[in-house]
Amino acid sequence: MDKLQVVGGKRLEGEIVISGAKNAALPILCAGLLTSGDLELSNVPRLHDVKTILKLLAQTGLKVTQDDEKVTLNGSAITTLEAPYELVKTMRASILVLGPLLARFGEAKVSLPGGCAIGSRPVDQHIKGLQALGADITIEGGYIHAKCKKLKGARIRTDMITVTGTENLLMAATLADGETVLENAAREPEVTDLANLLVAMGARIEGIGTDRLVIQGVAELHGARHAVISDRIEAATFLCAVAATGGDILLRNTRTDYFDVALDKLREIGLVMTMGPESIRAQMGGRPKPVSFRTTEYPGFPTDMQAQFMAVDTIASGSSRITETIFENRFMHVQEMNRLGASIQTEGNTAHVKGVDRLVGAPVMATDLRASASLVIAAMAAQGTTIIDRIYHLDRGYDRMEVKLSAVGADIVRIK
C-alpha cells in the first residue's frame, strides 16, 4: 500500500494547473448511458474514481475511448443493465448509473453503494424519487432492482438536499414522459455542469443553478461535446496549503465564481489573492489567522473543505470553532492531526481548535478522501518528517497531488 513521505517547512513557489472536477466528471460520465450517440468529454481528471466508473460503464457495453484527459463514450451497444457489487462497493457515485439505465432501457440492477466512511449517506431519496416517476423498485440481496417501461413526469421534493440524488433524478427525468419538477434540488456547480451537458444533448431543463428544476421529457438524447468544469475543491485545497506553509503560487484553469465562501474565509486567514479570468495568484507571508465556520449545502461552506481549513487552523494565531452539519463522522482526521501536535477537541458535531506554535512530523493514517488532503497540508506545515499511510483515499479524488506539490517546492514523495 502506497504512502506519502512529507518533510515540512518548505514554502511553495510556482504554478499549478487545476484538474477537472471529480464531482462533476462522475455524473457526466454516467450520462453516456442516456444516448446511443458519441459523448466527447474533455478536462476529465485522472483519478482512481474515474477509472472505477469507466470500468463500471464499460462492463454494461458502453464503448469507452480514453486519451489522457479526453474521454469518448458511445452507448449504442449496451447489453448489461447491472452494476455489480465488486465495482460499486468502493465508490458511492456508482449509484448514478441507476437513473440513466432505468430511463433509457426500462430496467436496472444496481448494488447498494460504498465509498468513504464519513457517515450515513442513504439512497432512499433516489429510490423515492424514481418511484414517484413510476418505477417499481425492490431491494434484495444487497441490490436495488428497478423496472418501468416508461417513466412518467412527476413533482418531486426530496426530504433533504442531496447532490447525487438530484443528479440521478435529473438524468432519469430527461427521458420521462411529460414534465418533472425537482424541488429542494442541490445547487452545486457540479450539478449545474451536468445539467448544461444534458441540455447540449437535447434535454429541456429550466431553472439550472436554482433549487427548482423543471424538466420536459424528450424521446431521446443525442451525442455532444463538453468540457468538465475545473475542480473547486482541489483549487481551495492548494490555497489552504499556501496559507499553511507560506509562499506565492499561481493556480491556472480555475474559476472564482463558485467557491466564494471558501475564498472569503481564506482572506480572513490572511491569504492575499489576485483573481484573473481563469487563474488565482495566492501569496502568504505570516502566520495564519484563525477562522470559524459551519459547513452547509451550496452556496454555503463546503463540507469537502472542512478538514483542509482545520489543518490551517491548527497553526493559527488563536482559537477557532468548526461545526460540521453534513456528515456525522467527518472528524476522523482530528486524532491524526493531534498526533502531529495539534490541539483539537470535539464535542458532538463541533471541533474546537486552539492554534499551536508548531506541528511536529509523525506517522499518521488517512481515513477518507478529504482527510488525506488535510494531513498533507498539516505535514507540509510541520517540522520534520511525516509518513501518511492509506493514501489510496487521496488518489480517489486528487490528480497526482504529490507531483503537483513537488513542482512548486514541497518535499513530498510517494513510497511504493
Active site positions, annotated: 116
Q: In a 3-state reduction of DSSP, which class is residue 21?
A: coil
CA nearest to 49, candidates 310, 231, 259: 231
CA quadruple 306, 309, 314, 316: dihedral sign: negative
Pair 165, 126: CB distance under 8 Å: yes
CA distance 183 to 1: 44
CA quadruple 408, 232, 330, 266: dihedral sign: positive
Residue holding cell 452545486? 188
Angle (deg, nearest 10), helices 369-381 and 306-313? 20
CA distance 219 to 11: 56
CA distance 35 to 256: 33
CA quadruple 244, 247, 253, 255: dihedral sign: positive
Instruction: Name the DSSP class of 11.
Output: P
- Residue 39's alpha-carbon distances to 75, 96, 269, 360, in angstroms, are 9, 17, 42, 49
Upstream peptide bond of 277 is cis (omega within 30 degrees of 0): no
Q: In a 3-state reduction of DSSP, which class is residue 403?
A: helix
CA nearest to 96, candidates 32, 161, 15: 32
